[in-house]
Amino acid sequence: MLSLSMIMMNKPKLLLLDEPSAGLAPVLVKEIMEKITEINKTYGIAILLVEQKIKEALEIASRGYLLKNGRVDMEGLPEEIKEAITRIHQPI
């Protein structure tokens, strides 16, 4: 949260976030995702989020890309990606 606050002082137009939930307890993961959503909606800042917690990332995303072995394996709306993952029996 402190890092996000410090970043916001610079009034960025784009945030690049790499694994912001890494090492956090589940309750804090929810909190950080809510804060990321709030920043996007309140300030209109574009956010590129790289995250291994697929379910949490897709819940706040407007578009998603799923990488497999360094290549884009799926892309689309979060609902489309969730559906595709469920269809191939990979739990998210």
- Delineate the domains of the chain, giving CATH numbers in brackets: 2-87 (3.40.50.300)
Q: Considering only residues 3 and 52, tell me which one the structure prediction assigns the higher pLDDT.
A: 52
The pLDDT tens digits of the residues spanning 18-49 come to 999 999 999 999 999 999 999 999 999 999 99
User: Mean pLDDT across the chain, nearest whole number?
Assistant: 91
Residue 19's closest CA among 53, 63, 61? 53
3: pLDDT confidence band, cut at 50, 70 and 90?
confident
